[in-house]
Structures are given as structure tokens and as C-alpha cells.
Structure 1
Amino acid sequence: MKVSEILKVIDVDVHNELKKPQDLVPYLPEPWKTRVAASGIGMMGSGYWSPVGGMRKDTKPPGGGVEGSDPDYMLEQLLEEYNMEYVVLTGILYNISATHDPDFTAAIASAYNDYLIAEWLPRSDKFKGAMVVSTGDPLLAAREIDRIAGHPDIIEVIISSATREPLGHRMYHPIYEAAERHGLPIAVHPGTEGTGGTGAPTSAGYPTRYIEWHTNLSQMFMAQLTSVVCEGVFVKFPNLKLVLLEGGIAWLPHLMWRLDKNYKALRAQVPWLTRLPSEYIRDHCFLSTQPIEEPDNPKDLIRLFDMMDAENILMFSSDYPHWDFDAPDAILKRLSLEARKKIFYENAKKLYKL
């Protein structure tokens, strides 16, 4: 029996793609319109070659186009197949932040948001949108949030985890201020770590192969979350929620333990924190299930979930149409029914006010 026959499902990370970069041309002003029409977006990738590619082979639309670019096929293959109530369309354009020109990246983000609203959200009331902003110029990003946030089907802001400076730095605070003002969570997603204007993809520098780069994405999320907590983002913006997408989950208990231990001796460096770092994380942060680490002994995963209060901070994600897609009836089978209800449905419904 499918999980969707027992539980309602909301998928918080579904990647809708452009059929071609020129799809954004109608939504761009000059000089960017001419540039994209002639040479595309020029968006950077990770630079690491994957032997399995980036997408599920069966997600290519029958009518042509790249994987994830056909809303009707997505509705059939994902939402109808698993009886999903809603999916959050996260796109791929958050990766534009790695490109050096902040005016260009802001223009691409705005064009994508208009494209999303015009071409995707009207196709189904089950589609909800994550608006993209570029971290290259946080003031322009805040202006974009103010411009788009009133749309009823835009339910969060998405940014890249690949940045020049850690996300707690005050240069990014205009983004958080605007998101909080409009009641929108901030989602953070990987993809271009180590490219363009971003830092090295691991704490040790640049790995050789995709397997290393992909495995070490959790390091980036650990560093970003530590920065956000220690720089007092959740103190300055007490109503802000942070969604960590596609960065793994097993690292979180260790990070909370280590932060709490260090805080007890080093709290003079972060006098704005009046509670343990782990308490801010539990109150403000959500993680997506994909890619979920699966130990040989399923009981180990349950113990890990107990350590991090998983049933209250995890939300289901499939990562469709990517190669490491997780079907909702393929994971978390050993959890209690109550915990699965929260992770597959209730946590997302509450966070996004669906």
C-alpha cells in the first residue's frame, strides 16, 4: 500500500525547469533581454561530473524538453502518482547567485519569478512557488521580495547555500528582514558550491570528484547554520523560519551538541544569544528529508530522529526530477504513524499556512 493511500503528502522540494534559457526573455528588460536571447543565462554548475547525470531518466517529458520542464507531465508523474496535496516548486535559478554580476543575477531572479507566476502556478492549485532572490545584492533581493511576496501562491523565498560570506553576516540581513515582514520562510538550497564568486565547497578546499563534492554538501549546511545562529539572525528576526533543503539531516544532533557545549564557555562572544543555540535551531529551523541518510540498522535512524526532535522539524521532499529522488512510500517506514503524519504533511502545512 502506498503511503499516499494512508497519509496526505506535501512535497517541499520539486525542481521545475525552464524548457530553454530563452523562456525568460519575455520577462527581462534590456540590456539583459538581448544578452539572454543571444547567449542564454550562462548559469554556473558545480563543475563536477556525475556518472549518473543529474536527472531521473524517466522524467523527460514525452513531448520533448528537459526533465522537469513540463507542468502537465509533472502533475501526472509526481502529484497524481503519489496523490500529493501540494508541491513547492523550488526551480533551479537560485544557483544564479554564484554568477559575478549582481545586477544580472537580480534581473534573472526577477524574470524567473514572473515566469513562475505566469507559466507554472496557474496550471494547478497544487503548485506553490518559492520565489528566487540572488544573494549578490541583498538590497535588490529585499526589493524583489517586496515586489512578489503578495502573490497568494508564493509561499517562501529560496536562496543558494553557495555564498561568498556565511549567511549569518549582516550584509544578508535585508533579505531576512523583508522575508519576515511578509511572513515568508527562507529556504536554502545547494548546487554551485565552489564556483563563481562562492567559497570552496568543503572545509578542506576543492575535492576531485562529484562523489566527494556531493557528500560534503552537509559541511556547507553546518557552516551556514552555525553562522546564522551565532550572528544572532533569529534574535534580530524572531519570527523568521529557515528551511534547509537537500543538505542531509544526520549532522544536526552533533552540531547542536557542539554548539551548546561551546556556548557555555564562549557565550561572551555572542551576548545577544540568551538561550542555548540548539533552542534557536529547534524553534526556527526545518530540514527536508531528501537526501536522507539510511543506516544499516533502521533503529539507528529512529534514535537519531529522537535526538533532533525530527517529527517536528522535518518535512518530506522528493527532489523530483533529480537522480536521487525519494518516493514518499520508500522512506521512513519504521516511524510511528503520528510522526509520519507530521513529516509528510502537517509540518509543511503549518509552516506554509496551506
Structure 2
Amino acid sequence: MIIDCDVHHARRKEVDLAPYLPEPWRSELLKYGERKMDSGILNEGGFRWDSIPPNGGPAGSDPDFLREQLLDKYNYSYALLTGSGYHISAIPDPDYAQAICSAYNDHSIEHWLPKDKRFKGVIMVAPQDPHLAAREIERLGDHPDMVMVAMSSTSRIPFGNRFYYPIYEAAQRKGLPIGVHTGQSNAMFAQASPTPAGVARNYLEWHSCVPQIYMGHLASIILEGVFERFPRLKFVLIEGGFDWLPHLMWRMDGRFKGLRQQAPWLKRLPSEYIADHVRLTTQPWPDPKKEEHLLHIFDMMDAENILMFASDYPHWDFDEPSVLPKKLSETARKKILHDNAAEFFNLK
């Protein structure tokens, strides 16, 4: 059995959100369509060529075809529907952004979750206004099939900053983990610096440097003491890779030993908070020349207890469950493909 932590379902048409939007956003959507971010970056990634539904429409927009092509084919027990709106945190209007997120959520609840008991939803929020985001978590946090709060990694403020505390308070109160999903390349200009060197010239450069964004957010979350302030809160980092984690853990632990006066609220080594509060998904899968090199990284980061499988369906870099190393133990394989996510999301 498999739990997939990142399945991108979609709407057939933009106007499908209109019934869930209040005015003036409903009239705006019907007249002009949904607001877009245009960065000038050519995104050549796209979708698997075979993921377009037989009856037409965007990839990932047909629940029956998605079920056939993914859930049934690979014997899934659950699939987390993470959507396709991660440009939303780049929109400068926080009222519009959260209205769109709320409409996404309501559309998924009505048109997707009833289609298959294996579908699980996420509460998408726009972090531009944490109080509006917290209100959305309060509104939907008790829904039995909404198992995570989701927000984009695109941000001008690192996620350890107290600016986000209203989101974290609401998520902890509802017992929901927070999923940080990589922002879309067309939203990169909304970030202070999408790579430490500045703005990438093309999609290839940006995509190669996505782990750096996650490293910055995770260091901020840990070293700013988020888990001391919110001891029951958990995070999962989605679609940002994982092989960078040992380096970051070693670096934070080493620097903390000499600079602990700058983080007096921490009571343990940074890496120990990661073990208790943070999970990462497998996608996109790294491509070392030798499999044993990857197994060494697995051992360094305690992968069998921290990693959770994600396919990123229906994107071009989709990963099948068979991507896991052949020499991985059956215990570790079972944990990564199913058990870790079942425990993390409290899925029976």
C-alpha cells in the first residue's frame, strides 16, 4: 500500500471557481479570468504527455482518469490532492489571494473528495495575510478529509518569522501539519531572492536551486524557535528534494554550538527538532551515478523515519514508487511508501 503526498489535481476551467467566490472577485473572474504571474521565464516542464484525460481538459482534471492512472495502477491507500495554485502567494492583493484559496478548497471538497475515499484534501492558504489564512484554517480545520494546511514556498519573509504565528497557532489548534510546497517559477519575482545569488535567468537554473529556498525556510523555522513556541506543530517540505538535509543539519548543529547565545530559546540541537517535527517528500528524486551514494545519504538523515513518498503527478518529473533504491530494506521501503505518512497525517 502507498500514500502519495503530492498529487496535483486541477480544475477543468477557470470559471469553475466562480460559484465559490464572493463579489467582487466572482465578477472579475468571469470577465477577466484568474490573475496570473508573468515572469518572462519559459517553463518547459509541463505535464506527462499521457496525463491528458481522454475526454479532454487539463492534466489532472478528471477524477476518474486520475484514479485509473495513479491510485488503481499503484495500489494507493491515499493520495493527497495538493492542487495547482502555488503562484497565489506571489499575488500582492491578500484579500484576492485568500478568496481564491478558499474557492480552491471548496471546489475540491465538493468535486473531488466525494469521488473516492482515498482522496484527501489540503487547506490552501495565502500567507500574505496570516490572519486571513488562520481564519480559513478555522473554517475548514475540522473537516475529516482535510489533512494538511498548504502554502507556497514563495515568500519575502522566512517562515520562522513571528509574522506567521497566527497561521501556526491555528494549525496547531486544529492538529494539522503545515505543508510547504515549492512555488511556481512564474512567481519567482515575488521572492526577495529565489536563489541566494539572485533571480535565475531560466527555468533550469531556478529548478536546480529550489532546495536552497527550502534550506533557508527550514533554518529560519528551527533557529527562530518555532517548535519551542508551538510544540505540537509539524511541517512537511514538499517537492524540494531531500538530499540536501544532512549538510544543513550538520551546519546548524555545528554553528549553534558556538553561537547559541543568538538562539537562547532552543533547548536542543537543531537536528533534534527536525527528527520530531519535520518530514520531507521524496520528489524530485536525485540522480547519483551510484546508488550506494544515495543510501549513504539515507543513513545520514535517518530517511526511513523522515522521508514520505510523493509522485508529483501529473508533472513531467513524475516519480513512480519503484524509484526507491533496490537495496533499501523492506522495513525502510514500507515506512517511506506508507507508514510515515499514515502516522504524520493520522490516516487510518
Query: 2: CA distance between counterparts of 1:261 and 1:195?
Result: 31
Aligned-residue identity in percent: 54
The Cα offsets for residues 227-274 of structure 1, whole Å up to 9 and x where unpaired, read as: 111111111011111000010111100000000011001110110001
Counterparts of 1:115-264 in structure 2, within 5 Å, are 115-192=107-184, 195=188, 197-264=190-257
Q: CA deviation at 1:46?
A: 6.0
SS at match of 2:246: helix
Contact 1:99 1:196 in 2 (8 A): no
Mapped pair 1:352 → 2:345: yes
State the TM-score, normalizing by the size of structure 1.
0.95
Q: Secondary structure at the match of 2:232?
A: coil
Q: Does 1:114 align with 2:106?
A: yes
Letter aligned with residue 56 of structure 2: G
Q: Which deviations, in whole Å up to 9, do the C-alpha atoms of 1:289-323 show, x marking residues without a partner? A: 00021211111111110000000010000000000
Q: Find the counterpart in structure 2 of residue 99 from structure 1.
A: 91
**Of 295, 299, 303, which residue of structure 2 is paired with 1:310?**
303
Q: 1:141 to 1:266 in 2, by over 3 A?
A: same
- Which one is further off, 42-51 or 336-345? 42-51
Please tell me whether residue 68 in structure 1 is matched to residue 60 in structure 2: yes
Q: Which residue identity does 1:93 align to in structure 2?
A: G
Tell me which amino acid in the other structure corresponds to 1:90: T
CA distance in 1 between counterparts of 2:117 and 2:142 reads 17
Q: Secondary structure at the match of 1:42?
A: coil
SS at 1:67 equivalent: coil
Residue 5 (structure 1) aligns with? none
Is 1:279 the counterpart of 2:279? The answer is no
In 2, the alpha carbon distance for the partners of 1:342 and 1:182 equals: 25
Q: Would the aligned equivalents of 2:6 and 2:310 in 1 still touch at CA under 8 Å?
A: yes
Residue 44 of structure 1 contacts residue 192 of structure 1 at CA under 8 Å; is this kept in 2?
no
Secondary structure at 2:148 match in 1: strand
In 2: Cα distance, 1:171 partner to 1:183 partner: 20
**Cα distance between partner residues in 1 of 2:31 and 2:188:** 23
Match in the other structure for 1:270 = 263
User: Secondary structure, in 3 states, of the residue corresponding to 2:322?
Assistant: coil
Deviations 1:71-107 (A, max 9, x none): 1100000001111110000001232111010000010
Counterpart in the other structure of 1:330 = 323
- For 1:293, the equivalent position in structure 2 comes to 286
State the alpha-carbon separation in 1 of the partners of residues 190 and 50 from structure 2.
34
Cα distance in 2 for residues equivalent to 1:296 and 1:234: 37
Quick one: distance in 2 between partners of 1:330 and 1:173?
A: 37
Structure 1's 80 and 309: CA in aligned 2 closer, same or farther, altered over 3 A? Answer: same
Q: Which moved more, 1:192-201 or 1:247-256?
A: 192-201
Asked if 2 retains the 8 angstrom alpha-carbon contact of 1:134 and 1:141, the reply is yes
**Number of aligned residue pairs:** 346
After TM superposition, the score normalised by the length of structure 2 is: 0.97
Look up the equivalent residue of 2:83 and give its one-letter code.
G
Partner of 1:48: 41
Tell me the residue number matched to 1:88: 80
CA RMSD in angstroms comes to 1.2
Q: Closer, same or farther in 2 for the Cα pair 1:234/1:46, shift >3 Å?
A: farther
Aligned 8 A contact 2:86 2:184 in 1: no
Q: Does 1:29 align with 2:22?
A: yes
Structure 1: gaps (5+ residues): 1-7
Q: 1:158 to 1:47 in 2, by over 3 A?
A: farther
Q: In the TM superposition, what is the alpha-carbon distance from 1:207 to its structure 2 partner?
A: 1.5
| Separation (CA, whole Å) in 1 of partners of 2:232 and 2:211 | 25
Contact 2:295–2:325 (Cα < 8 Å) also in 1: no
Give the Cα–Cα distance (whole angstroms) in 2 for the partners of residues 131 and 46 of structure 1. Answer: 26
